Amino acid sequence: MSFFKKLKDKISKKTEEVTTKFKEGLSKTSSSFTEKIETLVLRRKKIDEDFYEELEEILIGADVGVNVVMDLIDELRTEVRKKKIEDAADLQPVLSEKLVELLSGKEDNSLNIQETGLTVILFVGVNGVGKTTTIGKMAHRFNSEGKKVLLAAGDTFRAGAIEQLEVWGNRVGVDVIKQQAGSDPAAVIFDALQAAKKREADILLCDTAGRLQNKTNLMEELNKIYRVIKREVPNAPHEVLLVLDATTGQNALSQAKLFGEKTGVTGLVLTKLDGTAKGGIVVAIRNGMDIPVKFVGLGEKMDDLQEFDSEQFVHALFAGLIKDEEEREEADEVSEE
């Protein structure tokens, strides 16, 4: 059984709604990526040096990252020798299998939600990456599960940040704990923690600044918030999620490294994947750091924030090729009859 067939069988056991969201959200990356690989396979039926070079260019063009691509090509060369693969078309399922391996990792990518008491989730990241929107969508997700959710407006520096979070709070039906613009972010988080404990909330989602207007170092400010949370709720924050904009490509990887080193990030949220043809950045980030991708933003709708699933991701990426393989198999069956 080919890897594409195995992958499709695994996906068929998952909810159709989620599969559709991944397919639609990654359609730009998939059509660009699949089209280029199909053209390469048709043009160069044999696997030679030129084939590998062009495949390298396609993968780098999808923002998979140079180092990851070099390792991937080396592994493909080994597989080709080992399995004596000659036809370029036979390499496609092997490539998809390697991508699933690269994306899976050993870490658990589920959220660390406390069974009892308050779960505190801190969101970090530069301005403009979709941090507030991610918080709103996650509040909707928890609210739909019947959890009591509170939001903390800890970004007191960006103009309109508090109001934006309030708009999301109203849409989702969740209270927002806030102070005036320009207030001390750590004081806002402190108030939110007190309110969450008093109201017996299950989840507290904390927004933070992505850039400060005064001379205070952003990382120092985040560390201050971190200390306040730790003092008020032992073992918290339970998650520190770094929000990255997938459309910024390799720039997102640089941000991940900066924040990852300084703020104790436990997971990544990649937003706006539906707006880029370079969804390979997920592979680059996943392999550039030992931090799991926990959620991906696949569209504008409230429920388009989905838990990251490596099999769904690769299935959506190779959707065109999987369909082509199915059609070929059907045609072969008909001709055998």
Determine whether the annotation assigns residue 34 to a binding site: no
- CA pair distance 155, 178, nearest whole angstrom: 9
* CB crowding 96-126: b at 16 or more within 10 Å, else e: bbbbbebbeeeeebebeeeeeebbbbbbbbb
Determine whether the annotation assigns residue 65 to a binding site: no
Determine whether the annotation assigns residue 274 to a binding site: yes
Determine whether the annotation assigns residue 207 to a binding site: yes
CA distance to 91, 146, 152, 159, 184, per residue, from 214 (Å): 54, 40, 21, 14, 12
Determine whether the annotation assigns residue 169 to a binding site: no
Determine whether the annotation assigns residue 272 to a binding site: yes
Determine whether the annotation assigns residue 67 to a binding site: no
Give the 3-state secondary structure of residue 42. helix
Determine whether the annotation assigns residue 127 to a binding site: yes
Closest CA to 259 of 107, 137, 69, 122: 122
Which residues have a Cβ under 8 Å from the Cβ of 72 and sit 6 or more positions away? 59, 64, 95, 98, 99, 102
Annotate 222-239 with three-state secondary structure.
Answer: HHHHHHHHHHHCCCCCCE
Determine whether the annotation assigns residue 130 to a binding site: yes
- CA pair distance 215, 212, nearest whole angstrom: 7
- CA pair distance 114, 119, nearest whole angstrom: 6
Determine whether the annotation assigns residue 174 to a binding site: no
Determine whether the annotation assigns residue 211 to a binding site: yes
Q: Which residues are annotated as a binding site?
A: 125-132, 207-211, 271-274
Binding site residue list for GTP: 125-132, 207-211, 271-274
